[in-house]
C-alpha cells in the first residue's frame, strides 16, 4: 500500500483548512448511522471496519455524506475516484484489488451455471448470500481477508493509509454496490454482461448476443424501482436483461420435446444450496427504530451482538 504526495511537504499538511464545498458531488444516501443496506455492501464494509482504522473511517464517512466525492469508477482490478479536499484540484484516489484470472472465472461460471438457483437469482439482478460460499469453495474469496490485499493510493499530502479521501471512496463504493451488485463482480474481473452471457451459453448451448456497454457505476440509477410508468422494465435494468435472455431461449414444438418435457435442462446439484438465515435477518426486516430509542446506531449495535451470540 502506498500513499504518494502531490506537491507540498507533509509537514505543511496542518496548514490546509476545511474541504472546499462541492456542487453536484456524489453524496451518500445514508445521512446517519451505518452505510450500506445489502448483504454484499455490508459485508464489504465489515471487512474494512475490522481492520481497526479508527477515526479515519469516521472522517471519510463525513466526506461521503457531504458530497466531496466528485467521480467514482469501477473497472476490473481498480476503483478510481476524485475527492475534493481543501486544495483547488480534487485528489486522485485508486483502490486496487487483484482481479480473478480467466481460468478461475471459467470454473466459477461453470459452478454457477450448474445450479438453476444461482442463474435465476443473477438474471434477476440479485446476488444470493450463498454466492460468497461458492467463491470461497473455488479458492477465490470475493472480499479481501486482510488490508494488505488492497493497494491504496491518494494524491493528498496525508501520510495515513487510508486517508479520509480513501475512506470516503470506500463508503461511496459500498453504496455503489447497493445500486448495482454486479459492480463487485466487475471489480473482480467480470462485468454483468460478460457473466450473464456466459451463463446463457453454458445453460442453453447457444452463443450469446452482443450486449450493450455497461454504464458507469457513478451513473447507475439509485431509485427504488427499475420500472417506468406502464409496467415495462427499463432498458438496461436487471429485469430487462433477464427478460431479454429468456426471450432468446430456443423453443421447440411440444411434440419434439414431450419425451424430455419433465427433465431439467441442466443436471441438478446433489443437494440444494443452503438457505440458512443470518442472525440479523429480523433486524433487517424491521428497519431502524425511532431516534428516541437509538435509531440506526442501535440497530448496528444489536447486529454486532446478534452475530457474536450466533458464533
pLDDT of residue 98: 92
- Give the integer Cα–Cα distance in Å for 118 and 198: 13
Helix, strand or coil, per DSSP, at residue 110: helix
Q: What is the pTM of this model?
A: 0.60
pLDDT of residue 6: 38
Which residues, in sequence order, are CB contacts of 298 under 8 Å at separation 6+?
288, 289
User: Cβ-count burial of 12 within 10 angstroms (0-12 exposed, 13-18 middle, 19+ buried)?
Assistant: exposed
For the sheet with 69-75, list strands across it.
Answer: 69-75, 78-83, 91-96, 151-154
> Do the Cβ atoms of 170 and 60 come closer than 8 Å?
yes
pLDDT of residue 93: 95
pLDDT of residue 281: 60
Summary mean pLDDT of the chain: 74
Q: What is the pLDDT of residues 113-164, one digit of tens each?
A: 888 888 888 877 778 888 888 898 888 888 887 778 889 999 998 877 788 8
Does the pLDDT value for residue 227 go beyond 70?
Answer: no
Cell 456542487 belongs to residue? 23
Band (33; pLDDT cuts 50, 70, 90): low
Please list the alpha-helical segments (H only) found in 124-237. 130-137, 164-179, 182-187, 192-204
Helix, strand or coil, per DSSP, at residue 13: helix
pLDDT of residue 78: 95
Other CB atoms closer than 10 Å to residue 14's CB: what's the count?
7
Residue 98 Cα distances to 5, 67, 108, 178, 261, angstroms: 24, 28, 16, 21, 44
Secondary structure (H, E, C), 184-212: HHHHCCCCHHHHHHHHHHHHHCCCCCCCC
Does the pLDDT value for residue 225 go beyond 50?
Answer: no
| Closest by Cα among 109, 164, 165, 118 to 138 | 109
Total length of the chain:
311
Band (99; pLDDT cuts 50, 70, 90): very high
- Give the integer Cα–Cα distance in Å for 116 and 249: 15
Q: What is the pLDDT of residues 230-287, one digit of tens each?
A: 444 555 454 554 455 445 545 667 677 667 667 766 555 555 555 455 666 666 656 6
Secondary structure (H, E, C), 27-57: CCCCCCCCCCCCHHHHHHHHHHHCCCCCHHH
> Do the Cβ atoms of 74 and 176 come closer than 8 Å?
yes
Does the pLDDT value for residue 95 go beyond 90?
Answer: yes
Amino acid at each position: 500500500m502506498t500513499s504518494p504526495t502531490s506537491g507540498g511537504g507533509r509537514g505543511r499538511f496542518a496548514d490546509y483548512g476545511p474541504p472546499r464545498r462541492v456542487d453536484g458531488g456524489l453524496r451518500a444516501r445514508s445521512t446517519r448511522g451505518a452505510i450500506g443496506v445489502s448483504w454484499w455492501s455490508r459485508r464489504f464494509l465489515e471487512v474494512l471496519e475490522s481492520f481497526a482504522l479508527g477515526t479515519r473511517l469516521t472522517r471519510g464517512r463525513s466526506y461521503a455524506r457531504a458530497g466531496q466525492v466528485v467521480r467514482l469508477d469501477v473497472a476490473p482490478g481498480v476503483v478510481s475516484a476524485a475527492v475534493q479536499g481543501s486544495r483547488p484540484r480534487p485528489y486522485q484516489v485508486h483502490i486496487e484489488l487483484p482481479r480473478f484470472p480467466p481460468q478461475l472465472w471459467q470454473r466459477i461460471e461453470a459452478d454457477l451455471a450448474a445450479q438453476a438457483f444461482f442463474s435465476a437469482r443473477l438474471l434477476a439482478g440479485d446476488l444470493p448470500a450463498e454466492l460468497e460460499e461458492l467463491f470461497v469453495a473455488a479458492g477465490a474469496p470475493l472480499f479481501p481477508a486482510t488490508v494488505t490485499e488492497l493497494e491504496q493510493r491518494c494524491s493528498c499530502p496525508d501520510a495515513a493509509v487510508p486517508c479520509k479521501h480513501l475512506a470516503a471512496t470506500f463508503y461511496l463504493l459500498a453504496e455503489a454496490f447497493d445500486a448495482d451488485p454486479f459492480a463487485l463482480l466487475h471489480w473482480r474481473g467480470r462485468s454483468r454482461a460478460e457473466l450473464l452471457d456466459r451463463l446463457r451459453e453454458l445453460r442453453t448451448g447457444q452463443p450469446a448476443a452482443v450486449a450493450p456497454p455497461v454504464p458507469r457505476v457513478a451513473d447507475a440509477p439509485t431509485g427504488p424501482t427499475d420500472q417506468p410508468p406502464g409496467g415495462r422494465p427499463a432498458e438496461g435494468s436487471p429485469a430487462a436483461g433477464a427478460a431479454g435472455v429468456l426471450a432468446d431461449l430456443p423453443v421447440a414444438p411440444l411434440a419434439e420435446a414431450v419425451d424430455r418435457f419433465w427433465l431439467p435442462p441442466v443436471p441438478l446439484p446433489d443437494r440444494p444450496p443452503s438457505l440458512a438465515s443470518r442472525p440479523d435477518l429480523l433486524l433487517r426486516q424491521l428497519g431502524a427504530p425511532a431516534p428516541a430509542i437509538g435509531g440506526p446506531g442501535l440497530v448496528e449495535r444489536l447486529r454486532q451482538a446478534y452475530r457474536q451470540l450466533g458464533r
